[in-house]
A and B are shown apart, each in its own frame.
Chain A
Amino acid sequence: MKGMSLIVRTIARVVTTFIILYSAYIVVYGHITPGGGFPGGVILALGIMLLMLAFGKDLPLRKLPEGRASVLDCLGALGFWAIALLGFTAGYFFLNFLGKGEPFRLVSAGTMPLSNIFIGIKVGVSLFAVLTALSVYRRFYPPGEEPPEED
């Protein structure tokens, strides 16, 4: 698949910026408004998927090769894990050890925003990896037959 027409590409290029910005908003404001790491990560992955639909399957893999995606994915999970472990320094596993701050401010709720950011990275990258693995490396053709030529 080589991607879609010029109109779709132009619009996708503009819209994707806003989608990624919106996903960042959902992640960062996760602790005071509805949202959080998981929804934000899903929106991020779907924004990249839009690029893939518009520009063809190879583009996202050029930007984020499989190996790098795997490392980022693990780093996101490890960050969350490290926050949970750091709770030990204040006495309990998973203890929210940072200052809680004033409610409804962006910098508040201790470790929650940090956890949200790590979960956002983890979910966004792993969902991206899942969707590319299912579409780019797709083998949905019978055995013995070559993959159909695409135009």
Chain B
Amino acid sequence: MMNEGLHMNQALPLFVAIPLGAAFLIPILVRVWRRLPDIVGNLSTLSLLVMSLTLVGKGPSTYYMGGWRPPLGINLVADGLSVLLLVVVSLVAFCATLFSIPYMERYTSKSRYYSLFMLMVAGMNGVVLTGDMFNLYVFLEIASIASYALVAFGTEAEELEASFKYMIMGCVASTFVLFGVGVLYGKTGTLNMAHLAKIIDENGMSPAIWFAAALFLMGFGLKAAMVPFHAWLPDAHPSAPAPISAMLSGVLIKSLGIYSLARVSYIVFGMSKPISTIFMVLGGLSMIVGVLLAVGQWDMKRLFAYHSISQMGYVMLGLGLGTPLGILGGVFHLLNHSAFKSCLFLCSGAIEHEVGTRELKKMGGLWRRMPVTSTSCVISSLSISGVPPFNGFWSKLIIIVAAIQARHYVAATIAVVVAFLTLTSFTKVMRYAIFGSPAAESQKVKEAPALMGVALILLALCCTSFGLLYPVLKPLLLGPATDVLLRAGDYISLVLGG
């Protein structure tokens, strides 16, 4: 046997199978008892969280679908980067479903909501795990179509408009990705990522392969809302229900955008100078444009959405630097961003649920009325602005140090300036929403329901602890993820056993 030393993990397909099964069981179970969608949805995300945590620190493992070996069959690969993304997706998904129990009461048809939510989780887990290019496209489309529908879930005029815009952009992005997959297949005759990487490594980059790389950059860049392709994000993310905004900003743009882009450009094409320059330019642009557009916003969720663009810029910059420290910082910031951005969006949902507005000017003095929500909102705001000792500070610090080490002084300056502007912008949020004098609307508000509070506290704890737990996280999660991107050859020998 050629794959003697390889660790086969029978549990890998369950990461896709559990949410997929839940998605189709929920519409049937809701006829039995109205509460069953809540229970099934939360149980499946909880089991995903537990399963993903068991993968941590085990080393890479793989699985052959139907027993067909690569390059013939589709294989699933859980290496360091995939495990990190699986943990992030499951963590945010669990908090979002917990939050949904009270929050989604005011929408009709909760079972459809859970069904779409589970489809989205299944798609994201599939994207993260798969080792096959076309399979990546299929899972990408499953996650995207579910998210288009979820953005329009409220079926108000603005939500429909945002969803339509998002959907057109998303369809164009998916078409580019499929075109790229086709070009790769036409030139190499294989769809398996490791096999592709081997062939491209041996033959070098031909013009057609560069064409495919450009198509992937446009496609995944659109999904990640990098700056020239960012127009849909500030409309789509605020329009969705709050738990979905948390999922979209917290994990969807990462797994469909940044992860796929990093996987394809580092592993399949092999990182080269032009690609890393493009990464850094896109990252820098996103950081500046995102934060400048965010400063003038008064709609809470819209402000958060613009900050997602700018924070994703940090991740891209870190990955584009290509040095071990830079990649480590990028991966760490990806983990941190999912914690504090989903916490912020859930806070905005809790505030909207109680106060009934998203306008910062109409809030104020929530500190006394909603202590749990306010505390978690302040913690996550401080995290995103990079105040020590919260987690955002450490990852931003690593990225800036890495940029200076790599002699990219312009990039380092941009990172520092954007961190400062982010702090300014979030001072405004805290000043108007949490502290300050109570506005007329927030005189009689109560604390959000208990389950919402639990989800918020869970994420706020992550924001506080990730920075301090860095010595624990690095060998378990971040180091393996960095190694995957640094040593592309390992992936080839892991999958093909060569």
Contacts and interface: CB of A to CB of B under 8 A. Distances in A.
8 contacts: A74-B24, A78-B24, A78-B25, A78-B28, A85-B17, A85-B21, A94-B65, A94-B66
Interface string A70-111: 110011011001001101100111111000000000000000
Given A71-B27, A74-B24, A92 B17 contact: no
Interface of A: 67, 70-71, 74-75, 77-78, 81, 84-85, 87-88, 91-96
B66 A96 contact: yes
Contact of B21 (A75, A78, A94, A95): A78
A108 B66 CA distance: 18
Given A94-B13, A94-B65, 11 more contacts: A74-B24, A74-B25, A78-B25, A81-B21, A87-B66, A92-B65, A92-B66, A93-B17, A93-B66, A94-B66, A96-B66
Interface residues of B, number: 15
Contacts of A74: 24-25, 27-28
Nearest to A70: B27
A42 B273 CA distance: 49
A133 to B, nearest CB: 13
B304 interface: no
Interface in B8-35: 10, 13, 17, 20-21, 24-25, 27-28, 31
A92 to B, nearest CB: 4
Given A81-B17, A84-B17, A88-B10, A93 B65 contact: yes
Contact of B67 (A71, A75, A95): A95
A93 B21 CA distance: 14
Interface string B246-288: 0000000000000000000000000000000000000000000
Interface of B: 10, 13, 17, 20-21, 24-25, 27-28, 31, 63-67
- Greatest chain B CB density within 10 A among A67, A81, A93 is at A93
Given A71-B31, A84-B17, A85-B17, A92 B67 contact: yes
Contacts of A94: 13, 65-66
Given A71-B31, A84-B17, A85-B17, A92 B24 contact: no
Given A71-B31, A85-B17, A93-B13, A77 B24 contact: yes
A93 B28 CA distance: 24
